[in-house]
Amino acid sequence: MARDLAIDLGTANTLVYMKGRGIVLNEPTVIAVNRKTSEVLATGHEARNMIGRTPGYIVAVRPLRGGAITDFDITERMIRLLLQRVGVSRFTRPKVVICVPSAITEVERRAVTDATRRAGASDAQLIEQPMAAAIGAELPIDEPIGNMVIDIGGGTSETAVISLGGVVALEAIRVGSFDIDAAIQTYVRREHGIAIGERTAEEIKIQIGTAAPMPNERGAQVRGRDLVTGLPKNIDLSAEEVRFAIDEVVSQIVQSVTRCLSKVPPEMAQDFLQRGMYLVGGGGLLRGLAQRIEHETDVPVRMSPMPLEAVVLGAGHCVENYQVLRSMFMGARR
């Protein structure tokens, strides 16, 4: 008998929840493929370590960008491998709930469900990430209270207001923490004349990245390739420089939160002032982001206790109560 699954197929990380067991897999959404034979060589952490360090015949890629499938074939193979790793075989075909960005198009929606069914699922249902995040973040969404959740992922940032188990207001943009990494790469290239890889940019963001001035800021030494000489070079990068580099991306995220707030019915506005909004997703871990949003919206911002797992736990809860919560799936009759 197949155990039903919930999959948070994120741009950055993929998490799998198995009914009755909890989270059984958590790894980067990366796949390494042999260009010549089309064989899959590695997935997850192993494939991530290969990014930017592969010989010509190997390609290590993230098959999702901005929360959408960019390579259907590779995504299908990755989902198939994921299902196999959690014990799904030809004879055990589970029902699968997949978390997707709310801004997903009809074509992208079909691509995800088709890829999942072909990979071995008996049924594939989609759930909006902010809704799953609100369930997983333990917000009281069963009450007639405005619950605001900001989910900042690798490729998307979504803000939703949820009350009585339904979405009241929603704002989604295809900007996420990978765009912050890209902004750091661009800044270092333009201002210091050195090229750095996406993993180095991510490390800079984690180590010294801030969205608002913070106490005890420090700098970091960055290694890259000099664009003029082509030789390895070290530079010193300050936290202020990084904040300047990522400011435009951070501003876009904050503006989307503000737009969502402006869509909310006036009755709910007082709920946010009392209860605040909740940050989930890896992008929410950027230092100073909560303070920046709080400063620009005058609404308290709180960090979810499990920011990285909230989405898959929410979808997992829907898997545990599949029949009762069917109406929460995208395209279901409400």
Partner 1 sequence: MIATQTVVVIFALLALGCGASLATVLFRQERQTGIYDGIANFRRHIDALSPEARRNVISRHAHTRGGDRGEPRQ
Question: Where do contacts with partner 1 occur on this chain (CB under 8 A)?
Answer: 22-27, 44-45, 85-86, 135-136, 138, 140-142, 164-165, 306, 308-309, 313, 316-317, 320-321, 324-325, 327
Burial environment of residue 36 by CB neighbours within 10 A (0 to 12, 13 to 18, 19 or more): exposed
**58 or 81: whose CB is closer to partner 1?**
81
Rounded Cα distance, 222 and 121, in Å = 45
Residue 309: CB minimum distance to partner 1, A? 6
Residue 165: CB minimum distance to partner 1, A? 5
287 alpha carbon, distance to own chain's centre:
17
**27 or 114: whose CB is closer to partner 1?**
27
Q: Strand pairing of 147-152 and 157-163?
A: antiparallel
Residue 40: CB minimum distance to partner 1, A? 16
**23 or 220: whose CB is closer to partner 1?**
23
Rounded Cα distance, 240 and 244, in Å = 6
**66 or 282: whose CB is closer to partner 1?**
282
Residue 116: CB minimum distance to partner 1, A? 19
Going by C-alpha positions, the residue among 160, 158, 153, 149 that lies closest to residue 180 is 153
**121 or 237: whose CB is closer to partner 1?**
121
Rounded Cα distance, 183 and 175, in Å = 11
